[in-house]
Amino acid sequence: METQVLNRSPIVITMGDACGVGPEIIARLFRGPSAAGCFVLGDVGVMRRAARLTGGMLAVARIDAPEATFEVPPNCLPVLQADVLPADLLEAPWGGIDVRAGAAAARCIEQAVTLALSGAVSAVVTAPVHKEALAAAGVGFPGHTEMLQALAAAPGTAPPPVRMMLANDELRTVLVTIHLSLRRAIDAISFDSVLETLRIAHRSAAGWGMPAPRIAVAGLNPHAGEGGLFGDEEVLIIAPAIAAARAEGIDARGPYAPDTVFMRARNAPGHPGEFDIVVAMTHDHGLIPVKYLGVEQGVNVTLGLPFVRTSPDHGTAFDIAGTGRADPASLAAAVAMARRLIAG
């Protein structure tokens, strides 16, 4: 895995939900070379507890500014104490929804975006948050993606259009809709939303060295609608958006049957993928195939932000939080992906 520090702006890793596995996977990450050039934005006490939980013998150093990341000795976890965190955060119990943890997670995200927009950090890697904990804390966003989008907007301007991509070494999926009920998601699929997704996917691919990606578009309905027999979204919305994208020079193809297109796109040993990216209409259509291949290597990337943001392909895992058994592989993959995107 690539561990070289590519510039002198560090990568910030947000602590995530203090009641989940975020702090412990971060502590495990910092026990190896994958965390070079990274620091944690969170609570020093929570991170010291995570260091003890994962075996001790890991120094946790409070830093005063991001650039101090490069001054800490090896085998040390640098933490920038986030502002205005609940004073009793350590009293929030492992493995459950707690308003204090939700509030702290949100504050870390807000401060990380401020650092990214100022240029103090080169990328933001976010540890898992819990949507119900955020809601309990009064956060008006259903997840990371929507919150980051809103925070990235300059005062008085519209938020930038963003899309969620889940990726591993075998498959990349970009979503037209994300955290909506299925009924609302179908209503949100429009010519404009599909075309904008294709534009964002095409433009963002240059960030990982792919200026002309082959984009497959999955249909919404069984068999991609069978020419309108099983639904007309493909005929009326999706196919015209693909045609418009192609007219702009985007190599978009489809719509293809969603139950087979991911197999065609999968790039595995002995099976070169036909496509570089699959655009899927809804959350589960697109994410189930990637997660089935293994969450330990999956990375969530927010496309369209004015800074690089990645995240592990899993949640807070309350069922194992506090046991010290959580696997940091997906977090390591998220850091590695951030480095690739920084390098362009």
Q: Is the pLDDT of residue 3 over 70?
A: no
Question: What confidence category does residue 7 fall into, taking pLDDT thresholds of 50, 70 and 90?
Answer: low
Q: Where are the beta strands (DSSP E) in the chain?
A: 11-14, 38-42, 59-63, 76-81, 123-126, 163-167, 172-175, 215-218, 252-256, 277-280, 299-303, 308-312
10-38 per-position pLDDT tens digit: 999 999 999 999 999 999 999 999 999 99
- How far apart (Å, rounded) are the C-alpha atoms in residues 296 and 312? 8
**CATH value at residue 124:** 3.40.718.10
In which band, very low, low, confident or very high, does the pLDDT at 185 lie, cut at 50, 70 and 90? Answer: very high
Mean pLDDT of the chain: 94
In sequence order, which residues have a C-beta less than 8 Å from that of residue 321 and are 6 or more positions away?
19, 20, 21, 24, 94, 95
Task: Output the pLDDT for position 194.
Answer: 98
Give how many domains the chain has, as a whole number. 2
Looking at the structure, tell me whether residues 231 and 327 fall in a common domain: no
Is residue 4 pLDDT above 50, yes or no?
Answer: no
Q: What is the model's pLDDT at position 209?
A: 87
Q: Are strands 163-167 and 123-126 parallel, antiparallel or unpaired?
A: unpaired
Do 31 and 155 belong to one domain?
Answer: yes
Domain co-membership, 185 together with 287: yes
Same domain for 139 and 192? no
Q: Which amino acid is at 315?
A: G
Looking only at Cα atoms, what is the longest distance across the chain? 64
Is the same domain home to 253 and 313?
no
- The model's pTM: 0.91
Secondary structure percentages of the chain, helix, strand, coil, to 5: 40, 15, 40
Angle at 317 between CA 312 and CA 319, to 5 degrees: 165
Question: 291 Cβ partners below 8 Å, 6+ apart?
Answer: 166, 298, 313
Looking at the fold, whether 126 and 183 belong to one and the same domain comes out as no
For residues 276 and 339, membership in a common domain is answered with no
Residue 299 lies in a domain: no
- Flag whether 300 is in a domain: no
Looking at the structure, do residues 112 and 258 belong to the same domain, yes or no?
A: no
Instruction: Summarize pLDDT for 261-317 with one digit per residue, the tens.
Output: 999 999 999 999 999 999 999 999 999 999 998 877 889 999 999 999 999 989 999
List the domain range (segments joined by +) for residue 223.
169-293
- pLDDT value at residue 1: 36
The pLDDT value given to residue 109? 97
Cα dist. 321→105, 241, 306, 325, 329 in Å? 16, 44, 33, 8, 16
Instruction: Decide if 164 is inside a domain.
Output: no
Q: Are residues 68 and 136 in the same domain?
A: yes
Per-residue pLDDT at 5: 46
